[in-house]
Each structure stands twice: as structure tokens, then as C-alpha cells.
Amino acid sequence: MGLLINIYSASTWLIGIIVLLFLSAIVIGRNHTSSRLFFSRILIVSMFALMFANIFIAEATLGILARLAVFGTFLLAGTLFVRTTLQEERTREDLANLTDRMEEMNANLESLVHTRTKEIKHARIHTDTIIEQLTHGLLEITPDGRLLRMNEAAETLTGVSRNVALKNAVIPPPLTQLMYPYTKTRNESELPPSPSLPRGADVREITLQGPQARQIQTTTIPIKNGTKKTFVRLLRDITRHKRISRSKTEFISVAAHQLRTPLAGIKWTLNLLIDGELGRLSANARTQLIHANQSNELLLQLIGDLLLVSRIETGKEDYSMANVSLTALIQKTLETLTSFGNEEKIEITSTMPKTPIHIMADERLFGRALFSLIDNAIRYNTEGGSVKISLTKKDATITIDIHDTGIGIPPQEREHLFSKFYRSEASIKRHTEGAGLALFITKHIIVRHGGTLTINPAPTGGTIATITLPAL
């Protein structure tokens, strides 16, 4: 019996030590669940050992302190057992919930990726279908001249198979004319930029060489995708349009030539009648003849403009270039228009440099261009308005500014300013006469002199016509 009591007492102390170790493990590492599980299982085994000892040891031999120790051991072991079991169950549930959420998120992500991939695929197919259905040819080109895309219309237009063009490093002609950076040649003309096109777009007309020469209008648009840059080039066959335009020009030229001779005869006869060479006329008859002569002069002027347009478009207009004093030419033009300005009650002023400025020009044609711009500034001005002409030279550029306080030009009509036979609604209301050829002719004359012509709204109202020319 004494031996059993000693064993029982030793077991009690052992359990106390284990309890202290378990509490230490909790304090040192609260997240180390494996340590708590290990010590709790030792306590459970010890608890059963004490229960076994309690059965074989007489109750009389155990004092009150021993019973309290046994009771406390059972209570602590049970509490730790329940707590550990609950923590294990909670951990398993948390892991299971986390796993379920991750699986759900993964499924949603896979569904989203699948949907987006499908949408991108459909969008690409849709874009490819539109490109293939275009009636204009389309080329996509890299900055170094590699062909990335070519639609069916471009294949038909150039006569080059896209399989050959896309696979071969060497681009076969005549596609080479449409692929590489442009150089100004006699087979190419540059068109003015259109406001309807994005910034940086380039519009040109090219004669495509081949068994049947074709006139092609190319519109090149830069495309930026992050750091990647390519060019989309649209090809439009304007051969038929050019042929019709040429036929119209030839018809106008022939008709103008045929009309000019009889009109010149009418003018000669009217002048004889007005001067009284064919007999005396009443005052009323003479007035009517003067009006008829003025109308005849307008017709002759129109025919002269039509013939000049025909020569400009066919490249047959001759320019007699010489050293011309631009300062003197502007002064001469202003003297001619002074009386017209006074009739319209328009104040005309000019600012000229002290040193005369000279240019290489055809005095007759360039003088006509100046006359047309200043005449328009007076004609379409407001009563009591003003026209200011300034001439400046900076470095190698000469600038002529013609600033009026007139009716201005609506934004939607600026694109058509230099088109043949175009007149704005405001100008028609002010003056019904006119064929809409003056600005078309003026622009071509200035361009042939190596210059540029722009017409923009002035900040204070009216318009500013600006001519730039290369200095001698």
C-alpha cells in the first residue's frame, strides 16, 4: 500500500509539472497548436492513470489535498481537452471555408477569362470582316516598311497576292509604290489636309504604274498602341473620277474658247454704239447699252477664268518668272482698288518695310492673286470696316497678312474655300455675281510660286488671309 501511495504522489507531481509545461507552451507560442495537442494528450493519459490508481488505493489513505489535486487535474485536463478539440474543429472549418472560397474565386476567374477571351475573339472577327468588306484597299505597315495586313480590295487594286506580299521579305511591284516612304515625283501630288481626318494623316495622289496606269488616292493614318506604332494606308481608285474631271475640264476649255470669240465681237460692237460711231443714241439707249457692255465684260471675265483653270489643271499655264519688287506690286494693287474701297466705305491701310522686298514671280499672275484677295477683303466687309495689309520678312520667309473686319467664314465652310465653283452662303447673299473660282485660282498661283495660302478667322472678327513666300 505504501508503494502505491508513493506512486500516486509522484504521479500527482508529474501531472503538475506537465500542467506547467503546457501553460508555458501556450504562453511561448499561442499559434503552435501541435504543442498544445501534444501536452493535452499527455494530461489525458495521466488522468486515466490517476483514475486507475484511485480505484486500487483505499479512500482512507488519501487526504483532502490529494483529492483536491486529483479533482483539479481532472478539471484542467477536461477543459484543455475540450478547448483543444474545439480549436481543431474551428481550424478545420476555417480551412474548409477558405478552400471553398478559393475554389469559387478560381471558378469565377476562369469564367471571366473565358468570357473576355470570347468577346475579344468575336471583336477581332468582326473587325477582320469589316476590313475585308471595305471597298477601299487597306494596308497596315510598320515604320520600317514591313507589311502586316492587306485586305482583298488592296489585293484586287494592286494585282499582288496578299499571300505573296505578306510572306516575302521583298515586296513585289506595283505594291512598292504604296509601301515605302514617299518622295515627291512627277507621278505624285500632295493634297491639303482635311479637317475630317485625324491629326498626322497624309493624303496624296499617285499614278500606279502597270499594264493599265491607275490614279490612286492614298490616306495614311498613324496608329499608336502603347509604344508600338504602325501606319494604316487606305487606297482609293480615283481613275474614273480623274477621267471624268479631265473630260469636264476639256469641255469647259472648248466651250470657253468657242464663247470668247462671239463675246469679243459683241463687246466691240457695243463699244462702237456707246461711243456714237454708228450714230447718235438717246440717253436711255446709251445707258442700256452700257449695262449690256458691263454684263458682257463679266462673261468675258468668267470665260477667262475658266480658261485659266483649264490651263492650271492641265499644267499648261506658263509662268514668266522674274525679279519683282513685292513692295511695289502691293502698292500698285492698292492704288487700283482704292476707288472701290471708297465706294464701299472701307478704310484701307498698309504697313510696309522701309527696305523693298523682292521675290521671283510672274508679275501678272501674282498681281492677280493679290488683287483677288484684297478685292474679297473689301467686297465682303461690313460698312465702315477696314482692311489692313502688312508685309514682313523674317529670315528666309516673307509673310503677307490681309486682315479684314468682314462677315467672316463659318467653320463648316472653311474646308471648301479653295474648291472650284464654291461660294459660301454669306457671300452669295452679299453679292450674287461670281463663279467661285477666284480663291481656287489664287491658291494655285501662290503654290506655283513656292508659297502657301491660309485663311483663318481673326480673333477680333473678320478673317486673316496669310501668304508665305520664300525670300530671295
Q: Is 408 left (phi over 0), alpha (psi -120 to 50) or beta?
A: left
Residue 392 banded pLDDT, cuts 50, 70, 90: very high
Please report which helix (H) or strand (E) contains residue 20, including its range: helix 2-28
Rg (CA), the chain: 49
pLDDT of residue 237 exceeding 50, the answer is yes
- Angle 176-178-181 from CA coordinates, rounded to 5°: 90
More confident residue, 31 or 280: 280
Please provide the average confidence, as pLDDT, over all residues in the chain: 77
The C-alpha atoms of residue 51 and residue 194 are separated, in whole angstroms, by 102
- Angle 355-358-360 from CA coordinates, rounded to 5°: 175
Q: Is 427 left (phi over 0), alpha (psi -120 to 50) or beta?
A: alpha
| pLDDT the model gives residue 104 | 87
The C-alpha atoms of residue 290 and residue 297 are separated, in whole angstroms, by 10
Q: Which CATH architecture has domain 135-237?
A: 2-Layer Sandwich (3.30)
pLDDT tens digits for range 396-427? 899 999 999 888 887 777 777 887 777 777 67
More confident residue, 386 or 35: 386
> Residue 450, Cβ neighbours under 10 Å: how many?
12
Residue 331 banded pLDDT, cuts 50, 70, 90: very high
| pLDDT the model gives residue 27 | 44
Query: Mean pLDDT across the stretch 179-202?
Result: 53
More confident residue, 52 or 126: 126
Only one residue has cell 498661283, namely 445
pLDDT tens digits for range 42-56? 555 555 555 555 544
Report how far apart, in Å, the C-alpha atoms of 119 and of each of 107, 113, 128 are: 18, 10, 14
Pairing, β 147-150 against β 214-225: unpaired
Instruction: Concatenate the DSSP letters of all residues of 203-225 into one string.
Output: EEEEEE-SSS-EEEEEEEEEEEE
Strand intervals (E) in 164-253: 188-190, 202-208, 214-225, 228-237
pLDDT of residue 352 exceeding 70, the answer is yes
Is residue 465 a contact partner of residue 449, using CB atoms and an 8 Å limit?
no
Q: Which amino acid is at 165?
A: A
Query: Does the global pTM surpass 0.75?
Result: no
| pLDDT the model gives residue 401 | 93
| pLDDT the model gives residue 18 | 58
Q: What are phi and psi of 161, to 5 degrees?
A: -65, 135
The C-alpha atoms of residue 373 and residue 400 are separated, in whole angstroms, by 11
Query: Mean pLDDT across the stretch 443-464?
Result: 88
Query: Mean pLDDT across the stretch 150-176?
Result: 80
| pLDDT the model gives residue 44 | 54
More confident residue, 8 or 426: 426
| pLDDT the model gives residue 71 | 56
Winning range, highest mean pLDDT, from 22-31, 206-215, 403-412? 403-412
Furthest-apart CA atoms within the chain: distance in Å:
174
pLDDT tens digits for range 71-106? 566 556 656 665 666 677 678 778 888 888 888 898
The C-alpha atoms of residue 377 and residue 371 are separated, in whole angstroms, by 10
The C-alpha atoms of residue 148 and residue 154 are separated, in whole angstroms, by 13
For 439, the 3-state DSSP assignment is helix
Report how far apart, in Å, the C-alpha atoms of 82 and of each of 68, 86, 87, 321, 455 are: 21, 6, 9, 112, 93
Cβ neighbours of residue 41 under 8 Å, at least 6 residues apart?
Answer: none
pLDDT of residue 121 exceeding 50, the answer is yes
Task: Specify the fold of 322-470.
Answer: Heat Shock Protein 90 (3.30.565)
| pLDDT the model gives residue 82 | 57
Report how far apart, in Å, the C-alpha atoms of 181 and of each of 154, 165, 235, 459 are: 18, 17, 15, 38
Winning range, highest mean pLDDT, from 129-133, 225-229, 413-417? 129-133
The C-alpha atoms of residue 192 and residue 185 are separated, in whole angstroms, by 17
| pLDDT the model gives residue 208 | 79
| pLDDT the model gives residue 78 | 57
Task: Please report, for the chain, the start and end positions of each structural domain, with discontinuous segments joined by +.
Answer: 2-104, 135-237, 244-314, 322-470
Q: Which residues of 161-191 are buried (b: 16+ CB within 10 A; e: fewer)?
A: ebeebeeeeebeebbebbbeeeeeeeeeeee
pLDDT tens digits for range 296-313? 888 888 888 888 888 877
| pLDDT the model gives residue 80 | 65
For 181, the 3-state DSSP assignment is coil
Report the sign of the C-alpha dihedral through residues 250, 255, 256, 257, in that order.
positive
The residue among 273, 247, 236, 267 whose CA lies nearest residue 153 is 236
| pLDDT the model gives residue 154 | 87
| pLDDT the model gives residue 467 | 93
Please report which helix (H) or strand (E) contains residue 382, including its range: none
